[in-house]
Amino acid sequence: MTADSAPVATSPAAGELAAQEKLAAEMSSLEIAKADQPLPELPPHRSHDPQYNQKRSDPFQFGSRYLAEQDDVFEFNAWDHVETDDTYKEYAEQQYAMQRQAPVSDFDKTRFNSDPAKWWNLFYKNNTANFFKDRKWLQQEFPILEKVTQEDAGPVTILEIGAGAGNTAFPVLAKNKNPKLKLHACDFSKKAVEVMRGHESYNPEMMQADVWDVAGEELPPGLGEGSVDVAVMVFIFSALSPLQWKKAVENVYRLLKPGGEVCFRDYGRGDLAQVRFKKGRYLEENFYIRGDGTRVYFFEKDELTDIWNGSLSEPVEGETAGVKPSFAIEELGFDRRLLVNRAKKLKMYRCWIQGRFRKN
């Protein structure tokens, strides 16, 4: 996949038809098969065999169960690379119009934007027992995380930004063989940091969890400029206000070594979570308040390109010129999945966006 294109699903219909014609020609010259003779194998994407139910395969391939015209959409629970249909697009636009007409009140906008850490503290306080989710796909999607955890990788520093309960940190450490790896896990929620420090796998010799705001003025405790090899940002950028993006990117740029890499995954515009928002949740275009008071943004690909390639780094009028970050967009694409409720015959479109950015 190229950096400026999302993964493209190629329908297997033509290939399957050719294979069927070839099989028919071969069978015409053979005797009728015996009853106990095995049937031709199903193509992997049509098989219910668990070995083909892996969500991840090659990095940024985002799965390989493609939905073809002859497929029954309700045969499986999920399909990869499915574009939204016209009915869903029309419904989504109606939802966006409704959301814009009934935005968050000015009072609530100030209340939620003035102290976002407060709402994340409440979130982790209320979800301590069930929030942790093992992101087993991390090293498959981001091969650099596999590379730096090898025994002979040498001194490496990983920074997980917006670490939450350690959903990235602990799975990486569980597979780590590198005795010289140091992982810093930061979140601006004090409660989240308490959760990480209280985890049974928390080892201060390998991991350091601290409170830190990626859009703040200071760098994380124990880290200086040019000290980080890999920065992991999974579902964190969407929690920031658009006014915070520039500062956050500057801080990541300052922390990374030349050639350092950012592993990025977040919500894409049109995701079911966005379309579902009711009245009184709209802050501004693509930016919302959840029911628990936390904020979430849904990104366009061009928007993220501009954010990370330096287009937003120029100071505005009255602003002091500072760091001018510039990242090479090595990969950036949508991960689109169609989830189905087979019992209720419901289709649910999910959309995430994933990228790798390298410090110039």
Q: What is the mean pLDDT of residues 4-14?
A: 42
Whether residue 181 has pLDDT greater than 70: yes
Burial of 305 (0-12, 13-18, 19+ CB in 10 A): middle
Give CA 152 to chain center in angstroms: 29
Pairing mode of beta strands 228-234, 156-161? parallel
Residue with tokens 């990480």: 196
Identify the band that residue 5 occupies on the pLDDT scale cut at 50, 70 and 90: very low
At residue 88, the pLDDT reads 85
**Sheet with 287-289, edge to edge strand ranges:** 282-284, 287-289, 295-297
How far are the Cα atoms of 88, 97, 202, 270 from residue 91, in angstroms, in the given order? 5, 10, 45, 11
The two structure tokens encoding residue 137: 């796909």
Give the tens place of pLDDT for each residue, 217-260: 999 999 999 999 999 999 999 999 999 999 999 999 999 999 99
At residue 48, the pLDDT reads 42
**Sheet with 346-359, edge to edge strand ranges:** 78-80, 327-341, 346-359, 256-267, 228-234, 156-161, 181-187, 207-211
* C-alpha dihedral sign at 3, 244, 269, 170: positive
What are the residues facing 263 on neighbouring strands?
232, 356
At residue 2, the pLDDT reads 38
* C-alpha dihedral sign at 63, 64, 69, 73: negative
- Kindly report the backbone phi and psi dihedral angles of residue 217, in degrees, each rounded to the nearest multiple of 5, phi listed first: -90, -20
User: Bigger pLDDT: 326 or 322?
Assistant: 326
At residue 269, the pLDDT reads 95
Give CA 205 to chain center in angstroms: 28
Give the tens place of pLDDT for each residue, 89-123: 898 999 999 999 999 999 999 999 988 989 988 88
Q: How many CB atoms lie within 10 A of CB 140?
A: 17
The amino acid that residue 282 corresponds to is Y
Q: What is the mean pLDDT of residues 172-184?
A: 95
Pairing mode of beta strands 256-267, 228-234? parallel
The two structure tokens encoding residue 8: 């493209």
At residue 321, the pLDDT reads 57
Q: Which long-range contacts (CB under 8 A, 24 or more apart) does 215-221 make?
A: 215/240, 215/244, 215/245, 215/247, 215/248, 215/251, 216/188, 216/247, 216/251, 219/251, 219/254, 219/255, 220/159, 220/184, 220/186, 220/255
The amino acid that residue 22 corresponds to is K
Whether residue 172 has pLDDT greater than 70: yes
Whether residue 174 has pLDDT greater than 50: yes
Give the tens place of pLDDT for each residue, 58-97: 544 445 555 455 554 545 555 455 677 788 889 899 999 9
Q: What is the DSSP letter of 336?
A: E
At residue 139, the pLDDT reads 80
